[in-house]
Amino acid sequence: MTIGERTQLKINTDRLMHSIDELGAIGAYHDAEANVMGVHRLALSPEDAEGRRLVKRWFENAGLTVSVDAIGNIYANRTGLDSKLAPVMSGSHIDSVPTGGRFDGALGVLGALEVVRTLNDLDITTRRPITIAAFTDEEGCRFGTDMLGSAVATGRIALDDAYGLTDADGKTVKQELEAIGFLGAEPVGKRTPHAFVECHVEQGPALIHEGIDIGVVTGVQGISWHKLIITGTSAHAGATPMGFRKDAGLAAARINCRLHEMCTGSKYGSEMRATMGVIHPEPCMINVIPGRITATVDLRNPDDNAMHNAEQDLDDYLQHITKELGVQIESRQTARTPAIIFDESVQIAIETAAKTHELSHRRILAGAGHDAQEWSAVCKTAMIFVPGLNDGISHNPRELSTPRQCADGINTLLSVITRLADEGE
């Protein structure tokens, strides 16, 4: 077969969806409000361990060589024609948020497995090896640091620092890796793939609203998180004339409106996003002016310079509000990650693959963090997004991509992997 013929290969959609359902049954629970099944499979929990054992067994049944590294990442290797060439790696994670869905992470791992199963069915061997990966604790919900496994594997986070992270009960990552039997022997930091490709649900509304089949992910936004503590004076809503007030709630409202204004116009680019997600007044009573507000600011921007300007301007605005409303504002940055720009050639490979399968596609920015952003530090990398129903809702039991949506993504992944795996040095 030529490469051209290979890129028109199709996966077995039923087998893919069956795998997603089977893994999704581990940690499944019934969400009463939405009347759907959700997934509770926190990193290094008994449910995660059960999921890991299932996935490992599937990898082995597909004829792959499985190894586990010191941070618990699972790698499954398929031999290529030239074993001296670096492999093409594809994967994601199988841990979930506390009340998640079946697709976030799982589609990337089981999609890569379906790619290999399809190649096995057709007895196709690529030039380069193919490695499927399932990374430890991408969500960060239990130990507080997301993309943990891939960050350790690619050198951003030191292994010992990762080992020392604790959950709410004081259990460490290392203890829990040992407890579930996934403290592997392979040293971290030794793998340098030829390329990394990850398929993931979009977790946003853009593709489904525009009727686009495939998102070609251009990169990941930089993130800047701030916790604001605004202190005014709590006072009686009836007895306190407006001129005497130091209304912490009004200060938070002004800042929220300003955040929205910052996302209109072009000063910070067209992809600037800002959200005040936490708003917690004290007291919280109908006839009392809030004396204190805890609020959070979440800024996203794919351009580091624009993000820097936005942060500066926000600081200036906080100063302005302090003076205008007579409140005090304590602002603390609680997270900051730079923007990631994915590799152009891999994006083009994804576009080519989508065209081959006659799928509509458009370039799109990732709004959330992904394992792929860690691998982009060591090899050429990009991601494939598939749309989801319910406005692309994710981290929620209502997360849902149809068999067709999943198959579109994994058919594209199949074509991209086979194309990249046939590349020379």
Under the rule (CB under 8 A), what is the footprint of a copy of itself?
202-206, 209, 221, 223, 225, 227, 233, 235-242, 244, 247, 249-250, 252-254, 256-257, 260, 263-264, 271-273, 275-281, 283-290, 293, 296, 298, 300, 334, 366-369, 391-395
Strand partners, 296: 227
User: Distance between alpha carbon 281 and the CA centroid of its chain, in Å?
Assistant: 31
Q: With H, G, I as helix, E, B as strand and everything else as coil, classify residue 269.
A: coil
**Cβ closest to a copy of itself, residue 67 vs residue 99:** 99
CB of 240 to a copy of itself, least distance (A): 5
CB of 382 to a copy of itself, least distance (A): 17
**Cβ closest to a copy of itself, residue 71 vs residue 384:** 384
User: Distance between alpha carbon 255 and the CA centroid of its chain, in Å?
Assistant: 28
**Closest listed residue to residue 234, CA positions, set 223, 224, 246:** 246
**Cβ closest to a copy of itself, residue 229 vs residue 368:** 368
CB of 336 to a copy of itself, least distance (A): 13
Surface-to-core class of residue 187, CB atoms within 10 Å of its CB (0-12 exposed, 13-18 middle, 19+ buried): exposed
3-class SS letters over 40-80:
CCCCCCHHHHHHHHHHHHHHHHCCCEEEEECCCCEEEEECC
CB of 55 to a copy of itself, least distance (A): 25
CB of 226 to a copy of itself, least distance (A): 9
**Cβ closest to a copy of itself, residue 300 vs residue 361:** 300
**Cβ closest to a copy of itself, residue 19 vs residue 394:** 394
Q: How many angstroms separate the CA atoms of 309 and 330, rounded?
A: 20
Strand partners, 29: 38
Q: How many angstroms separate the CA atoms of 129 and 75, rounded?
A: 12
Two structure tokens written together for 197? 């490709």
Residue 206 to residues 309, 327, 377, 389, 399: CA-CA distances in angstroms? 26, 39, 27, 11, 15
CB of 169 to a copy of itself, least distance (A): 21
**Cβ closest to a copy of itself, residue 67 vs residue 296:** 296
